[in-house]
Amino acid sequence: MKFALVTGGSRGIGRGISIKLAQDGYFVLINYRSNQPEAENTLAEIRANGGDGELLKFDVSNVDDVNAVLGGWMSQNTDKHLEVLVNNAGITKDNLMVFMPVEDWTSVISTNLNSFFFVTKLLLQNMLLKKNGRIVNIVSLSGQKGQPGQVNYAASKGAIIAATKTLAMEIGKKKVTVNAVAPGFIKTEMTEHLNEDEMKRLVPLNRFGTVQEVAEVVSFLASSKASYITGEVISVNGGMYS
C-alpha cells in the first residue's frame, strides 16, 4: 500500500486531489481543520470507489498541533511511508493593504506559508532516507503575477514558489521531487462569492476550472511519469497567465 497526505483534503481542490490519489492506489490521509462532515463525505466517496484513507484533524498553521497529530500518526505507523505530500490547505482574507488588519496578514501567512514548513519538515527526512518522495504545493496565479486585495495571499503563495524551487535544488540528489501547481479560478467555496459570468471573461478558455482538472496535474506530478520534473510551477488557469 502506498501512502499520501493531502492537507485541506476534505473540501474543494483538496477533496478532488484526495479522490484522485485514492484512484491512483494511495491510502490517503485526509487532513482538515474543523469541518468534520465534509471530511467524512470525502472519505465515504473514496471508499465507495473502492479506495481507502483516514481522517487526520489538525491545524496546519499550528506547529504543536502538526507535530502532535501528524507526528503522532507517524510514530504509530513506522512501517508506513508517506511518499506523497500535497500541501493544499489554504485560506484567503482579502482586503486592500491599507485596510488590512495585522491579524489577516498573520493568519494567511501562517496557514498558507508556515504550514508548508511545519508539515514538509516532518515528512522530509523519511523521504530522503528512502530516496522516494513527491511533494506538490498548491500555489496560485496570485502568487505568480500579484492580485489587488491579496497582498497577504499573493505573498504567501509567491514565497511557496520560491521555497519549491529552493527545496528542489536541496533534495534532488535524493530522488525526491518538489513542484507547485498554480490554479487560476477553480469552482470551490473559496471562489463562490465571485461572479463567474463576469470573471470568466478574463479567462481565455472562458470558464472557471474544476477541482478534477487540478487533481489530474497533481496526480501526474506524484507519479513516476514525472520523475524528471522538479522545481517547476505548472499553471492550471485556462490560459490567464501567458
Q: Catalytic amino acids?
A: 153
Q: Is 122 in the site for ligand NAP (CB under 6 A)?
A: no
- Cβ proximity to ligand NAP: between 79 and 197 the closer is 197
| Residue choice 124, 183, 230, 238 for contact with ligand NAP (CB under 6 A) | 183
Close Cβ partners of 181 (under 8 Å, ≥ 6 residues apart): 136, 137, 138, 139, 214, 217, 218, 221, 233, 234, 236
Rounded to a whole number, what is the largest CA-CA distance in the chain?
A: 51
Instruction: Pull the grid cell for residue 51.
Output: 479506495
CB of 175 to ligand NAP, least distance (A): 26
Sketch the per residue contact string, 30 through 59, with ligand NAP: x for CB under 6 A, - otherwise.
-xxxxx--x--------------------x
Rounded Cα–Cα distance for residues 182 and 172 (Å): 21
- Cβ proximity to ligand NAP: between 131 and 207 the closer is 207
Q: Is 20 in the site for ligand NAP (CB under 6 A)?
A: no
CB of 238 to ligand NAP, least distance (A): 11
Residues 83-102 that bind ligand NAP (CB under 6 A): 88-91
The number of residues that bind ligand NAP (CB under 6 A) is 30
Q: Is 218 in the site for ligand NAP (CB under 6 A)?
A: no
Beta strands in the chain (DSSP E): 2-6, 26-32, 52-57, 82-87, 133-138, 176-183, 233-236
Residue 98 Cα to chain centre, angstroms = 29
Rounded Cα–Cα distance for residues 205 and 9 (Å): 27
- Cβ proximity to ligand NAP: between 59 and 83 the closer is 59
Nearest residue to 181 (alpha-carbon basis) of 222, 224, 147, 151: 222
Q: Is 10 in the site for ligand NAP (CB under 6 A)?
A: yes
Residues near ligand NAP (CB under 6 A) are 7-8, 10-14, 31-35, 38, 59-61, 88-91, 111, 138, 140, 183, 185-186, 188-191
